[in-house]
Structure 1
Amino acid sequence: MARKPVTSRTGRFFKLAGMTASVAGQYAGQRARRVFRSENDEGAQSESYTRMAGQIADTLGELKGAVMKVGQIASQTQDFLPREFSEALEKLQKEAPPMPFEVIVEQIESELGKPLGELYEYVQETPYASASIGQVHRARLHDGTDVIVKVQYPGVDESCDSDLKQLRMTLRLGGLLKMPKESVDQLFAEIRERLHEELDYENEARNIKLFRDFHQDQPWVLIPAVIDSHSTRRVLTLELVEGDHVSKVTPDRYDQDTINLIGHRIFMIMADQLFRFQCIHGDPHAGNFAYRPDGSIVLYDFGCVKKLKPGIVEAYRKALIAALQEDYEALDRHLIDLGARVGSQPAVDEAYYAMWRDILIVPFQGDEPYDFAEADIHKHVAAKTSTVFKYLDYFKPPVESIFIDRMIAGHYWMLKRLGVQAAFRVELERYLKMGSDEGVHLTPE
């Protein structure tokens, strides 16, 4: 039986405040114990972090909403929180316990102003999907159209700002934020802005129409249409467009050529949105993509969309070109333009840039297909994270481009899970040439 949800602002506040007090107490105890130890016991610290992380993840999962969404973002942003927290929060990507159906019905009827039976022929009680700020149910309109109904959890939008403040306090008092205050301010401001957009389903409806227009010449990109008559700020009804979850893309239905075609199309979608549309789908996890054996790709959930400033896209493009051509002096300049490098600090050692370039360029090095199923880039990145501390004062979270990094990481994991075998070198060069009169090559002159 589902637990009665905490939907009131006061109830959410006390739940989060209890979590904050517990985490702060554990952190204080951990620091006190460290004073009496002759050396820092990393095992005990890791165990303490794991315990705190589990408590935070459980509370965020129960409350859903803004705090759960931040947890999801944190799990993908390795320099945001200690490793133990990223690992614990990863389950928020996969697990979102459903809200009771009677709560969902009440929200639909309140938003659309009619009894459920007048609005839909039926709404399935078992959720089609459940996520951080809303739940999706399969339904049918009275004209026979099969649809899905996305319903926002009650109280989530009103409590967004107070939830974020409370979560930030928890992380600060727990000694968990590994960034200077200015960077934390910028990061939480960016997350808050995206969340307010995501909590407005009318905004998502506009985003869907924008992306349908943008991809209209790519018939293999399928984006469900909005049913305006059954949509409001907190309820969004869309046509039902189904495909296979990545776990269902199996050899009996998808041969390797089809998987490779899908891989090239995923790359094209990502690059088109970044370099041509300058507006990206900012939540690229497995649940927001589906596939069909004809090579079509279905895109879902346009609540988190980041419109990019042209200057940021240009700085990103130039930084990529400089890195690929091993022009590390130029790369340093472009990273400052991107807001990722602290301009007042001296130039970064070229060997440091070369190390990261050699890890990240692997899928684009040659004309031979790269086997993403065997990709271990993430392991090489993890193995080098300790080197980041040497240059901690030189870099800062690139707030304007954090969703670009999130998009690229999300697509890497999709290509890996699909088992794509593809060479993207020529395609990448084509996109990097956009806006440039010069030829672009992935190897230095």
Structure 2
Amino acid sequence: MWDAIGAVRDLGRLHDIASVLIRYGFGDLVRRVGMAGALEKAGRALHWRAPEELARLAPPARVRRALEELGPSFVKLGQILATRVDLFAPEWIDELSKLQDEAPPLPFEALRAQLTDDLGAPPEEIFPVLDTTALAAASLAQVHRAQLPDGTEVVLKVRRPGIRPVVEADLRLLERVAEIIDKDAPDLRRYRPREVVRQFVLSLRRELDFAAEARNAERVAANLAERADIVVPRIHWRWTCERLNVQDFVDGIAGRDLRRLPLAGLSAPVLARRGATAVLQMILDDGFFHADPHPGNVFYLPDNRIAFIDFGMVGRLSETRRYEVAQVLSGLVSHDSEGVADILLDWSSETRADTDALRDEIDAFVDQYRGVPLQRLDMTAMLADVVAILRDHGLALPPDLALLIKAFVTLEGLGRQLDPDFDMASEAAPYLRQAMLAHNAPTAVARRGWRALASAATLLASLPRDIRTLLRAAQRGRLQVQVDVPPLDRFGERMDKASNRLALAILTAALIVGSSIVISVEKEPLLAGFPPLGVSGFIAALIGALAVLISILRSHKR
């Protein structure tokens, strides 16, 4: 299975990954995805037994610790998995949410050559004041404080040298693992390995591009420009590039240091409300939002202002999607279980779901919210219950909605840390109403109608040409219908192997019969008292029998 990977460049990393997984008790997974065979071919010796102290950990904790040990790519993968509340149970989400993107900082001298190349001059010539001690360090980058010639305080977010080849190797391996799991591990297919890895690959490659992160920050800053209470650090494009992000330094109280708020004269309830309305505006008004608003990405400033940093992970919601979210929440309140079920099925794109059972369960679920105003809903608990219903029915959300739900949950947790009486539903209610009004506004309806009319006109204009092409292909005998049934292909492969094994067994039996006849008839010459031709036939039959036996044993082992 792993022959396609065969490049020597990945074998070392493959061995490291397999070794960590085995040490944490996932040797069976290593076997099932074919990693063991690849390593054995490379001459590696594997020890499958996990240490007893690790084996005693619960599976979510073992997975988290294994991901931390595997390095930056896998920490990021765990953070993506933590957003998939539709695929994993709460205990898994809680454990994966503990993954911290931290790493020991590199000495500044290890960054100097790359910095000089990106800046076009030694960093000391650009920044009169430059702190060579890292302000913070993560798996992909580390941050240093500096000062521009005009006295502006800035931070330099520097990508770790040599990190991209390691990440790209991990991505290649993960894509191959996802393909194998999707093909050969039906019990793991419900976790959508290809979809999750595809989302992860796109997210991580975007995070490696610090210029893209800077563009995200500027877009959010432009959307929130009218809000004086929200700060997004200014980007200094003169020195910002793919491996370097230079932005204003934020001098405030870190989101985790809530004890300093009263001493600084800041109001925690006001901060909770302003932070929530800012993120809700990003999500439901602008459709472009900070997808990870946890305390590490938030600073509190004088006058109860809030600064958001680190826009490496962002979410996008179309106008239609924002309207659907508002419809779901409104349907829960108005007891429209059929409408809610229809939207959930549209989101999941799953045609094999038991729609009647899903509607019955949603009907029972929404009944408990009958007559409850939107402002009094526990939005986080409600979303968690909806996602649990989807998970029980084997349905999965699109990645943008999974990010949205994760952002909602994180935001409410941040708000309750600041103010135990924080009510997310009350803050969200005006934005949800606005989303529904905006979707049904005359200008929006006219715009959608014009788009539909233009699409229909384009389709009608191309229809005669498409029909002519189809008829021409039919007249020339080139019209083909291809039916691809992967399980049938695998069945054919197994039948082919079985027939080969049967042919070899028949040939072996024929050799035994023929050799017996030769031994009983042939008299001269003799070898150790037996005719050589008969002995050769028995030896060939023995080899054939062993080959059939080995093939059968290998088949049972697989």
Relative to 1, partners in 2 of residues 1:420 and 1:357: Cα closer, same or farther, differing over 3 Å? farther
Moved more, 335-344 or 189-198: 335-344
Whether 1:114 and 2:114 are equivalent positions in the alignment is no
From 59, 64, 67, give the equivalent of 1:49. 59
Q: Normalising to structure 1: TM-score of the pair?
A: 0.76
Give, in whole Å, the separation in 2 of the partners of 1:240 and 1:167.
Answer: 36
Give the C-alpha shift of residue 162 in structure 1. Answer: 3.0
**Secondary structure of 1:236 counterpart:** strand
Structure 2 runs not aligned, ≥5 long: 1-8, 33-52, 441-558
Give, in whole Å, the separation in 2 of the partners of 1:103 and 1:315.
Answer: 49
CA offset digits 1:47-105 (Å, max 9, x no partner): 36367425513323xx32x3221122224545555777655544432643333333233
> Who is 2:69 aligned against?
59
> Who is 2:503 aligned against?
none
Moved more, 267-276 or 22-31: 22-31
Give the C-alpha shift of residue 321 in structure 1. Answer: 1.4
> Who is 1:26 aligned against?
27
The answer to whether the Cα contact below 8 Å between 2:22 and 2:30 also exists between their aligned partners in 1 is: no
Relative to 1, partners in 2 of residues 1:366 and 1:88: Cα closer, same or farther, differing over 3 Å? closer
> Who is 1:96 aligned against?
103
Give, in whole Å, the separation in 2 of the partners of 1:69 and 1:30.
Answer: 24
Relative to 1, partners in 2 of residues 1:44 and 1:68: Cα closer, same or farther, differing over 3 Å? closer
Relative to 1, partners in 2 of residues 1:419 and 1:92: Cα closer, same or farther, differing over 3 Å? same
> What residue identity is the alignment partner of 1:408?
F
The answer to whether the Cα contact below 8 Å between 1:129 and 1:135 also exists between their aligned partners in 2 is: yes
The answer to whether the Cα contact below 8 Å between 1:96 and 1:130 also exists between their aligned partners in 2 is: yes
> What residue identity is the alignment partner of 1:56?
A
Relative to 1, partners in 2 of residues 1:57 and 1:167: Cα closer, same or farther, differing over 3 Å? same
> Who is 1:36 aligned against?
none
Give, in whole Å, the separation in 2 of the partners of 1:223 and 1:177.
Answer: 45
Give the C-alpha shift of residue 407 in structure 1. Answer: 1.1
**Secondary structure of 1:107 counterpart:** helix
> Who is 1:123 aligned against?
130
> Who is 1:15 aligned against?
16
> Who is 1:201 aligned against?
210
From 146, 149, 161, give the equivalent of 2:153. 146
> Who is 1:296 aligned against?
305
Structure 1 runs not aligned, ≥5 long: 1-7, 32-42, 441-445
Moved more, 281-290 or 347-356: 347-356
Give, in whole Å, the separation in 1 of the partners of 2:430 and 2:63.
Answer: 43
> Who is 2:257 aligned against?
248
Whether 1:188 and 2:197 are equivalent positions in the alignment is yes
Give, in whole Å, the separation in 2 of the partners of 1:320 and 1:288.
Answer: 28
The answer to whether the Cα contact below 8 Å between 1:278 and 1:307 also exists between their aligned partners in 2 is: yes
Give, in whole Å, the separation in 1 of the partners of 2:185 and 2:416.
Answer: 30
From 244, 254, 271, give the equivalent of 1:262. 271
Relative to 1, partners in 2 of residues 1:138 and 1:436: Cα closer, same or farther, differing over 3 Å? same
Give, in whole Å, the separation in 1 of the partners of 2:238 and 2:429.
Answer: 44
> Who is 2:410 aligned against?
410
Whether 1:307 and 2:307 are equivalent positions in the alignment is no
> What residue identity is the alignment partner of 1:128?
L
> What residue identity is the alignment partner of 2:226?
D
Give the C-alpha shift of residue 301 in structure 1. Answer: 0.9
> Who is 2:354 aligned against?
345
**Secondary structure of 2:235 counterpart:** coil
> What residue identity is the alignment partner of 1:135?
Q
The answer to whether the Cα contact below 8 Å between 2:341 and 2:359 also exists between their aligned partners in 1 is: no
Give, in whole Å, the separation in 1 of the partners of 2:174 and 2:92.
Answer: 13
The answer to whether the Cα contact below 8 Å between 2:13 and 2:169 also exists between their aligned partners in 1 is: no
From 283, 302, 311, give the equivalent of 2:292. 283
The answer to whether the Cα contact below 8 Å between 1:81 and 1:176 also exists between their aligned partners in 2 is: no
Give the C-alpha shift of residue 20 in structure 1. Answer: 4.5
Relative to 1, partners in 2 of residues 1:178 and 1:314: Cα closer, same or farther, differing over 3 Å? farther
Relative to 1, partners in 2 of residues 1:222 and 1:99: Cα closer, same or farther, differing over 3 Å? same
Relative to 1, partners in 2 of residues 1:353 and 1:281: Cα closer, same or farther, differing over 3 Å? farther
* Percent of matched pairs sharing the same residue: 22
Matched pairs, number = 406
**Secondary structure of 1:93 counterpart:** coil
Give, in whole Å, the separation in 2 of the partners of 1:162 and 1:364.
Answer: 48
The answer to whether the Cα contact below 8 Å between 1:224 and 1:239 also exists between their aligned partners in 2 is: yes
**Secondary structure of 2:238 counterpart:** helix
Instruction: Report 1 or 2 for greater relative contact order, CA contacts < 8 Å, sequence distance ≥ 6.
Output: 1
Moved more, 314-323 or 157-166: 157-166
Alignment of 1:386-425 (within 5 A): 391-393=392-394, 395-425=395-425
The answer to whether the Cα contact below 8 Å between 2:337 and 2:366 also exists between their aligned partners in 1 is: no
Give the C-alpha shift of residue 213 in structure 1. Answer: 1.0
CA offset digits 1:9-41 (Å, max 9, x no partner): 77655533433555675336999xxxxxxxxxx
Relative to 1, partners in 2 of residues 1:225 and 1:386: Cα closer, same or farther, differing over 3 Å? closer
Give, in whole Å, the separation in 2 of the partners of 1:74 and 1:311.
Answer: 25
Give, in whole Å, the separation in 2 of the partners of 1:46 and 1:365.
Answer: 44
Give the C-alpha shift of residue 355 in structure 1. Answer: 4.0
From 77, 80, 93, give the equivalent of 1:70. 77
**Secondary structure of 2:149 counterpart:** coil
The answer to whether the Cα contact below 8 Å between 1:290 and 1:297 also exists between their aligned partners in 2 is: yes
Give, in whole Å, the separation in 2 of the partners of 1:180 and 1:237.
Answer: 42
> Who is 2:525 aligned against?
none
> Who is 2:436 aligned against?
436
Instruction: Work out which of the two has the higher radius of gyration on C-alpha atoms and give 1 or 2.
Output: 2
Choose between structure 1 and 2: higher helix proportion: 2
The answer to whether the Cα contact below 8 Å between 2:254 and 2:298 also exists between their aligned partners in 1 is: yes
Q: Normalising to structure 2: TM-score of the pair?
A: 0.62
Moved more, 48-57 or 227-236: 48-57
Give, in whole Å, the separation in 2 of the partners of 1:20 and 1:329.
Answer: 44
> What residue identity is the alignment partner of 2:255?
V
Give, in whole Å, the separation in 1 of the partners of 2:318 and 2:152.
Answer: 39
The answer to whether the Cα contact below 8 Å between 1:81 and 1:177 also exists between their aligned partners in 2 is: no
Whether 1:229 and 2:238 are equivalent positions in the alignment is yes
> Who is 2:283 aligned against?
274
> Who is 1:327 aligned against?
336
> What residue identity is the alignment partner of 1:190?
Q
> Who is 1:39 aligned against?
none
Give, in whole Å, the separation in 2 of the partners of 1:95 and 1:177.
Answer: 35
Give, in whole Å, the separation in 2 of the partners of 1:161 and 1:362.
Answer: 50
Alignment of 1:361-400 (within 5 A): 365-366=375-376, 377=381, 391-393=392-394, 395-400=395-400
**Secondary structure of 1:226 counterpart:** coil
**Secondary structure of 1:333 counterpart:** helix
